[in-house]
Amino acid sequence: MSGAFDVSMVRAGSQLLRVGRHPGSVKGPPLLMFNGIGGNIELFEPFARLLARESIIFDVPGVGHSPQPRCPYRLRTIAGLAAQVLDHFGHRQCDVLGVSWGGAPAQEFARVHGERCRRLILCATATGSIMLPARPAVLLKMATPRRYVSRDYIVSVAGDIYGGEFRRNPALAEDLFKHIRWQSWRGYYLQLTAAAGWTSIHWLHRLKQPVLLMAGADDPIVPLRNAKLMRRLIRNAELVVLDDGHLFLLTRAQQSVRAIDQFLARE
């Protein structure tokens, strides 16, 4: 069982999901979180421990300890599963946070289930298939889940793909690997195909929620200019840039939580 989350198996339609819930200590809508590609609940532990409000996260089908799905899915499917998870805990409305790959289903949730999304936080993410891409060498490393399978491999590539503190401190990669709950290559590639061809670039301007964009100044996977583009596309958006890389929610956890708490508490 995860240290930061109360973990349970939740039925969402025909799909069983491993869900983590951190109860929090302040009132307000829960923070529904969407993880990055290949990411399991435990990777959010250091960040979730600092959150004052209730937070909910789940392993997507085929990742972590959520069973494999019966067939391939799209991002709208993940948004629908998230809505059912909210129903399970009796929440009508929530705030939403998506990081990296998880920023795509977070945007989709805000669009399709707009009445349930009060505010939206997008971290180290972009507009999908139409974006300002990373360098080919970085994309090639992201095309394989080897970093979730081999400790030696993640230590060797972490600086190149995550940037920021991971360039200077190889021990961060070893600590990250300890939190990984690897399941299968199929689950990873199902996530890749779920986002294939998806983009939000043509409808971001229609989002009604206030949006907080957070980005790392040294992010090899999602270069900073993507966040600047999204700030121009979204009507009610603000941008916070951290002096770090792709995983600033972990390496700059306290600074990140302060910015998020201020955004969520604002009238």
| pLDDT surpasses 70 at 2 | no
pLDDT in tens, 72-107: 999 999 999 999 999 999 999 999 999 999 999 999
Three-class SS state of 155: helix
Closest CA relative to residue 97, chosen from 215, 213, 12: 213
Tokens at residue 261, please?
């708490």
Mean pLDDT of the chain: 96
Q: Say which amino acid occupies 9.
A: M
Q: Span 109-115, mean pLDDT?
A: 98
Closest CA relative to residue 40, chosen from 183, 250, 191: 183
The CATH T-level fold of domain 6-265 is: Rossmann fold (3.40.50)
Q: What is the percentage of the chain residues whose pLDDT exceeds 90?
A: 93
pLDDT in tens, 176-222: 999 999 999 999 999 999 999 999 999 999 999 999 999 999 999 99
Active site residue 100: yes
Number of Cα atoms under 13 Å in the Cβ half of residue 6: 8
| pLDDT surpasses 90 at 3 | no
| pLDDT surpasses 70 at 1 | no
pLDDT in tens, 125-151: 999 999 999 999 999 999 999 999 999
pLDDT in tens, 8-23: 999 999 999 999 999 9
Residues 129 and 135 sit within 8 Å (Cβ to Cβ)? no
Q: How far is it, in rounded angstroms, from Cα 214 to Cα 226? A: 11
Residues present in the chain in total? 267
Three-class SS state of 215: strand
Among residues 66, 100, 200, 256, which one is catalytic?
Answer: 100
Q: What is the percentage of the chain residues whose pLDDT exceeds 70?
A: 99
Counting beta carbons within 10 angstroms of the beta carbon of residue 193, is it exposed (0 to 12), middle (13 to 18) or buried (19 or more)?
A: exposed
